Structure 1
Amino acid sequence: MSTLIFVVFVAVFLVTALLLTATRAGASKELKETLDRLDAVSITAKDVALDEAAIIKREELLSDIPWLDRLLRRIDFFGRVRLLLHQGNVGWTAGTLLFASLGCAALGGAATYVRTHVILLSLLMAVLAGAIPWLYVLRKRSSRFAAFEEMLPEALDLMVSALRAGHGLTAAMGIVGREMGDPIASEFRQCFEEQNFGLELRTAMLNLSERVPIQDVRIIVVAVLVQKESGGNLAEILEKVAMVIRERFRLKRQVRVHTAQGRLTGWVLACLPPAFGLGLYFARPDYIRALWTTPLGLKMLYTGIILTVIGVFVIRKIVRVRV
């Protein structure tokens, strides 16, 4: 019976993967030709037609599978997922993330059930395995935001120099998009292009703060919008903002040094129980099997998992100091 269930899970996963691959390979030839034409227009044309092409192209797909794309567009949640994928610069669609999550959940749940024959534990492992693609995207997002923050003071210095040389704010953002590297170049370049396509400065800056929702970007957006309404020396404002950001980085590094021991404790608490259980499983499988074959063992297992998760979150809350 367990072998049959395992085969069913694996078959579902393989069919899903094959369906995704086949549909992506044969996805709408007409759509591909349209996107190719829009790419050509974006590169070669600098006239009014560029505005229309850019607007069409920004309606990004939620999935390469046409029927799934139409289905996901009806759910607001996947619009936020698309933004999350853009922030992580993963290169996936929302449909790809959905399939990856379902595939990991199926494999994790099936493998656990084959070894333990405990439905509740298998469901728990399926949920944890299904979260792996999401955690990967969130990790990429955090890394990209950290790199963005590191480059932000230098970008502001470049904008200040451009403003003092006589360039406007939009042109200064375009210089950052051309001269600096990613991730900051791509975001400022998109903000520059949006203004060239006809969006107001306020809308373009708010879009930037939505794509990069970090505190320093919000400060810059507020400073620019307030200066636009009330006037003032924008170069001097941005120079002071850059100085504040550098001071925050210095203080943040000091905080990380002082909280290093607490963060290490959290990692030990999170990794030690699974590592110890895995070692016992290979060294004394009969000894540890009681955790999922007896009612008392299951209670102890679930209690241990819950307390470990609570402990990790408590330590994370203690050592996470906002600067």
Structure 2
Amino acid sequence: MMGLVIGTLFGVGILTCATALRNPSRPPSPPRWMRAVHANRRQIALTTIAGCLGGIIAYALIRNAFLALCVAATSGLLPRILTQTRARKARAERAAAWPDALDDMVSALRAGLGIGEALSSLGSRGPSALRPAFAQFGEQIQATGNLEHSLDGLKERLGDPVADRVVEAMRLASALGGYDLANVLQALARNLRAENRDRGELIARQSWAVNGARVAAVAPWVVLALLASRPGTVEAFANPTGTAILVGGFLTTVVAYALMVRLGRLPEEPRVLAGRAE
């Protein structure tokens, strides 16, 4: 009897191990919102801190909970706005650096260097705004020897329309021959210089209007913050009518400033050739 029980348990154990090896259990994947929170945890933390600080400062100055909530919600957007501003500035620096980079490519190609060598050389002597991406391209092509995958990686790292055009021109030249590649890159450099010059003139003409709108949006609230040091001002806005005036004025200021920024922003060239090569 004991032998039967031991044999049965031994057989059940072997069957369980075999089933586990055939169908290994995988931990359930977290939901999509949890993955998004984990990927953007730094941005969420900065948003929370900025919103809390803005709300506390507004309540300390105005002593109005509704306006403090509005300020907290707006302050929470500041980290995202700063990130987008930094990204636009980086794109503008890369756009200004591309003509010089294209001239360096043309010089390298006419000196007899191959496509991979010409692009890799920009990692050491190219414009500073583009140098890290080309340095990583040089490391990747040196490690793998695969020009196609290295060009895809370069396109993803740079992430702008000019890089897409340059990478696809290099890809076609590598596959079909590049007799006119230097002339194509030189013409592209001339067009980019003219485009950057026209864009700079538009931004210079537009800057006075943008700065004036910023001053007009901020000035009333600076005056209100200064007047809030007097007890009578805080008491005047403590009733429902004063709260409605403050909240309405704040929302109007935010909406008007957002519309000004949105309508006054120059359009950016779309990435038509952003897809990876198949």
Residues 204, 122 of structure 1: alpha-carbon distance in 2 compared, 3 angstrom cutoff: farther
Q: Which residue of 1 aligns with 2:243?
A: 298
Residues 234, 257 of structure 1: alpha-carbon distance in 2 compared, 3 angstrom cutoff: same
Q: How far apart are residue 218 of structure 1 and its match?
A: 2.9
* Counterpart contact for 2:59–2:68, Cα < 8 Å: yes
Q: Which residue of 1 aligns with 2:27?
A: none
Identity across matched positions, percent: 24
Amino acid at match of 2:251: I
Deviation string 1:21-43 (CA, Å, 9 cap, x unpaired) is xxxxxxxxxxxxxxxxxxxxxxx
Q: Which residue of 2 aligns with 1:214?
A: 160
Residues 36-75 of structure 1 aligned to structure 2 (within 5 Å): 75=35
Q: How far apart are residue 117 of structure 1 and its match?
A: 5.1
* Counterpart contact for 1:178–1:185, Cα < 8 Å: yes
Find 1:122's aligned residue among 63, 68, 78.
68
* Counterpart contact for 2:122–2:135, Cα < 8 Å: yes
CA distance in 2, matches of 1:224, 1:310: 45
Q: Tell me, what secondary structure is at the counterpart of 1:197?
A: helix
Amino acid at match of 1:312: Y
More displaced stretch, 245-254 vs 225-234: 225-234
Q: Tell me, what secondary structure is at the counterpart of 2:223?
A: helix
Residues 150-229 of structure 1 aligned to structure 2 (within 5 Å): 150-198=96-144, 200-229=146-175
Bigger RCO of structures 1 and 2 (CA < 8 A, at least 6 apart) = 2
Q: How far apart are residue 245 of structure 1 and its match?
A: 0.7
More displaced stretch, 169-178 vs 254-263: 254-263
Q: How far apart are residue 127 of structure 1 and its match?
A: 2.8
TM-score (norm 2): 0.71
Q: How far apart are residue 303 of structure 1 and its match?
A: 1.9
TM-score (norm 1): 0.62
CA distance in 2, matches of 1:289, 1:217: 58
* Counterpart contact for 2:50–2:78, Cα < 8 Å: yes
Q: How far apart are residue 295 of structure 1 and its match?
A: 1.5
Unmatched 5+ stretches in structure 2? 1-29, 269-278
Residues 316, 171 of structure 1: alpha-carbon distance in 2 compared, 3 angstrom cutoff: same
Q: How far apart are residue 178 of structure 1 and its match?
A: 0.7
Q: Which residue of 1 aligns with 2:201?
A: 254
Q: How far apart are residue 268 of structure 1 and its match?
A: 2.5
Amino acid at match of 2:249: G
Deviation string 1:57-103 (CA, Å, 9 cap, x unpaired) is xxxxxxxxxxxxx9999624665x5xxxxxxxxxxxx54x5434333
Residues 302, 182 of structure 1: alpha-carbon distance in 2 compared, 3 angstrom cutoff: same
Unmatched 5+ stretches in structure 1? 1-69, 82-93
Name the larger-Rg structure: 2
Residues 234, 302 of structure 1: alpha-carbon distance in 2 compared, 3 angstrom cutoff: same
CA distance in 2, matches of 1:247, 1:100: 39
CA distance in 1, matches of 2:243, 2:33: 41
CA distance in 2, matches of 1:101, 1:169: 44
Deviation string 1:285-312 (CA, Å, 9 cap, x unpaired) is 4225533x22222222222122222222
* Counterpart contact for 2:104–2:126, Cα < 8 Å: no
The number of residue pairs the alignment matches comes to 238
